[in-house]
Structure 1
Amino acid sequence: MKQSYIILFKPLPNAKRIKLKIPYEFHDIRSRIKKMDSSYWHPHQKLWSLVNSPENMEYIKAICKTKIRVSHAQPYRPIPKVRMNEAGIEALLKLEKTLILKRYSQNTIQNYKSMLSIFLMKFRDRDLAQVERQDIESFIFDFIKKNGIGESMQNQLINAIKAYYEHVLKRPKAFYNIERPKKASPIPNVLSEQDVIKLINTPENLKHKAILWTIYSGGLRISEVINLRIEDINSKDGYIFIKDSKGKRDRKTVLSPSLLPLLRSYYISYKPSYWLFEGRFGGQYTQGSVRKFFRKALEDAGINPWATVHTLRHSFATHCIMNNVNLRHVQNMLGHASPRTTQIYTKTIEINNKKINSPLDRLLNMSNFTNNTQQV
């Protein structure tokens, strides 16, 4: 019988995760990996991953011993870079101009340009107006097979191609109605209430702490917190006004009374002029800066390193539902167009016998049945 081994994919330079393929028969090792705080199962790649640290690498080697083999192949292959020709550059400029006129967000525009550039590199020697739907589907199929991209990137790629042919070349919908992956229903990553309070109080910097408190207390996206103006904090009526959020929708969310003293202290210390959170030399604070100090806070607090800034928004929604806030109110605070989007958070509520009584207990109590666990 051929012997099986655990495959450790050697991390690329600056890689954030260590990836492992653990065959079915290694139950004990898989169980030990699963119990680690930073472990994560990637269902589509059939891989486990951990935070890339010397301690985790040594732990993996210690528990796997001779059962491990190192592979230099990567489950995800980097996209080769090809110099863009003049026709490709012109296509990107036309897409950018069209999306700006349609008032798409800057993040969406940059994402579409990045994804379309991959498509343009493939068809750099062809007239894009002559590219057929079958050519596009073959390109996406080959890209999935050769580069191992996930469903999210596949959808982003299709959206960018769709935007170009629909908005720039004015093609009918039938042309860009490209086959999409079956939609997954992942459960959002959520922190416990204890982890949240530990995390948002970790930064010593007053501005950093105020930003994290604001994100969690109102369930904000990272783009929304940096777009807050001073006038958006309505302390008199107790709400935060979110202007032009995702989907170009304005909304209100709750302003926590506990947040107000912190925001006042921050305002007195930093004296922002227009944006609530401004950079060192004025202007809006950047998303990159928020992500950077958030990662440091995670490390300093010893919280699950798989969390992101958006995890605070997921946690806000889940904790509201746990505390019996009406689902319709949660939907409005998050800015969801459909209640079905908000209902996903009902799946993230912690399930255990301290919170929920099993019907078995009720039936046994009703029948005065003596539960003899020694017989089981």
Structure 2
Amino acid sequence: MPRARRSSEPVERPADLDPAIPFPPMEAELVRDLPDGAEWQYEPKWDGFRGLLENASGQLRLWSRNARPLLRYFPELQPLGELLPPRSCLDGEIVIVRDGVLDFDAMQTRLHPADSRVRKLSAEIPASFVAFDVLLWDGEEHWPETLADRRATLERVASRCTLSPATPDRDEALEWLSSFEAIGLDGVIAKRRDEPYRAGERTAVVKVKPEKTADCVVAGVRWKSDGQRRIATLLLGLFDDDGALDYVGSSAVAPARHDEIADAVLPLLDNAPERRFSEPNRWGGGELEEAAVRPELVVEVRYDKVQGRRFRHGTKLLRLRPDKDPSQCTWRELRPPLAPGDPLLERLLRPSPTRD
């Protein structure tokens, strides 16, 4: 199973990768605001596994950004080899769509060591490959060209593949930021149209993730390990359609705000319901003692991503919301319904129209 690479570790180029293919893939720098100007192109930020799809060795291979071969885990992508002429390479993203939404949890289950399990999952939850760049095609190197030229080439030669949408319109990209969350996309990528493909660099690509907030019910606390019964983190919940409170993650309490938070939360320990919090404390602190509280207090938190039924990472506590009824804190906070006119994932993932 591929191991996650630490950001400080160098990426070794696959030993037998054709020298005409740049490696590792180009990266993106996280910024707060989308850049503006005619030199920029905007694309959705897909929530999957990055991959270079190439056949320059004579067989189809799919490389992760960490130089791990991925095609073994996604055998259903093997037919893509019929769409590529010899000595070709596309840069893109492996994604899984379930119920009209990108499913990153399903992606992780696909990295299984057993061949029988891989075959079973490939049939049950098949993946797709979304191409957004062409590096090599029919032996011709395109990566030294500008993105504007590469995009035109991609749309011309790889029209039977699923291509990522792209637009030069910043206003359209800003609309994407506000509407893509409902279908599981992870933000917007901006790329310099006047730059070549810069392997492993972040100088020509930036990414913007929407700043997302949610109102959650305080369902419990974790105590600091100093023996003084001071709150380390708040445990957060949302109500499901049946009125049950689901645990969705935690939010650390800064020392400067401890007394304020404690005044609002500690009285809720009295007559609290019996509750267990199944997720371990993944963000440090060891096995901290937990306690449930009466679900009567709402807090607003900032988060970056939801994975399954949890916040993928820790959240930032913004403020108390004594003005909001806890019953209003439902899964709509994290999974907003599609609004009329929002882009549908099926439409984004359809193959590019064939050009004349």
Shorter-chain TM-score tier: under 0.3
User: Would you tell me which structure has more helix in proportion to its own residues?
Assistant: 1
Tell me the TM-score normalized by structure 2: 0.24
More relative contact order, 1 or 2 (CA 8 Å, 6+ apart)? 2
User: Would you tell me which structure has more strand in proportion to its own residues?
Assistant: 2
